[in-house]
Structure 1
Amino acid sequence: MSTPSLRAVEITPDNVRAATGIRVRADQDAFVAPVVLSLAEAYASRATAWPRLILDGDRPVAFVMAGFDPDREDPDRRCGIWRLNVAGDEQGRGYGRFAVQAVLDEARRRGHKRVTVSWVPGEGSPEEFYLRLGFRETGRVVGGETVGELLLE
């Protein structure tokens, strides 16, 4: 999805309330932390976190947070998607795909060749979403989460 109305913008004092208003469907709460927790983690990890609000025009529709830490010892934590929250009533419209693409574009801009993501397996899990986007399972499970990767060209 590439429309001029879609943007990934920095979290600022002017849009932080809009970002924290993003809520996934209730059946997805077990698979992703709320945006407010993500923003607290971003604040605590300022040097590496990359939180973005996804807007369609002026309407907040999703939140994505990636981490970029090329010197990290664990290769699964050097460049990856930490969170993706698409508002429950906005799902199925390509906003998640756009958010992931924004992370991939930023990873390329920073010179990364591999992006990771992890998910809790189970019914309602985002596993199929990430696999459709080209991520593949690495065979590793960390903290009960399956680790996936996408190699960038």
Structure 2
Amino acid sequence: MTPHLEEVTPANVDAAIGIRIRPDQEHAVEPVVKSLAEAYVHPAGVAWPRLIVDDGRPVGFLMAFLGIDWHGDGSVRRSGLWRLNIAADAQGRGYGRYAVDSVADLIRRREGKEMYVTWHPGPDGPEEFYLRLGFRKNGETSGGQTVGVLEL
């Protein structure tokens, strides 16, 4: 496995939009097209969408948030992983871990000390994945999702 991240461009946007997760996961994460629309409407530098490519094949999509106004009132700014979509046929091969590590590295380079993520709660959500990677629940929810934090 030698994945890398690519900026989403006119040349690969169709590949990004074509990333499909397993049908049983669709309730837990928005499709890539919604993420790209959200990236478009946020101020420059807040949303960081990237295609995950391995051996020339798109295997996933991630979108980080950088310095987002967490409460909407300017009191708290946070950075973390906003979306993670790993193609159904590429799951279980380390691409999710690679995505989390890539965002953590980006936040560290920006001198961040914490990385945030939210996830759909329940037995069919990705909670165990994030907890195995070292995130801890911080007692908050956001939009009905569990908030986790990773100390960097």
TM-score normalised by L of structure 2: 0.92
State the SS of the aligned residue for 2:29.
coil
Corresponding residue SS for 1:134: coil
The residue aligned with 2:100 is 100
Post-superposition CA distance 1:5-44 (Å, at most 9, x none): 3101111111111100101100000100000000000111
| In structure 2, distance between residues paired with 1:70 and 1:38 | 15
C-alpha distance 102-141 of structure 1, shift in aligned 2 (>3 A): same
Q: State the secondary structure of the residue aligned to 1:118.
A: strand
Output aligned runs, 1:63-102, within 5 Å: 63-69=61-67, 73=74, 75=76, 78-102=78-102
Listed as ranges, the gaps of 5+ residues in structure 1 are none
CA-CA distance at 1:142 after TM superposition:
2.1
Residues in 2 aligned to 1:38 and 1:53: alpha-carbon distance in whole angstroms: 12
Question: What is the correspondence of 1:3-152 to structure 2 with a 5 Å cutoff?
Answer: 3=1, 5-47=2-44, 48-69=46-67, 73=74, 75=76, 78-152=78-152
What root-mean-square deviation, in Å, do the aligned CA atoms of Structure 1 and Structure 2 show? Answer: 1.4
Q: Secondary structure at the match of 2:107?
A: helix
**Judging changes above 3 Å, is the alpha-carbon distance between structure 1 residues 74 and 127 closer, same or farther for their aligned structure 2 residues?**
farther
Residues 1:92 and 1:68: Cα distance change in structure 2 (over 3 Å): same
Q: 1:138 to 1:111 in 2, by over 3 A?
A: same
Matching residue's letter, 1:58: G
Q: Secondary structure at the match of 2:27?
A: coil
Query: Match of 1:69, SS?
Result: strand
Count of residues in Structure 1 that have an aligned counterpart in Structure 2: 148
Per the TM alignment, residue 104 of structure 1 is displaced from its structure 2 partner at its CA by 0.5
CA distance change for structure 1 residues 70 and 112 in 2, over 3 Å: closer, same or farther? Answer: farther
Q: Secondary structure at the match of 2:61?
A: strand
The 3 A distance-change label for structure 1 pair 32 and 70 is: closer
Same amino acid, percent of matched pairs:
57
CA distance in 2, matches of 1:46, 1:140: 25
5+ residue gaps, structure 2, are none
Per-residue displacement from partner, 1:34-69 (whole Å, max 9, x unpaired)?
A: 000000001111420000100001100010001101
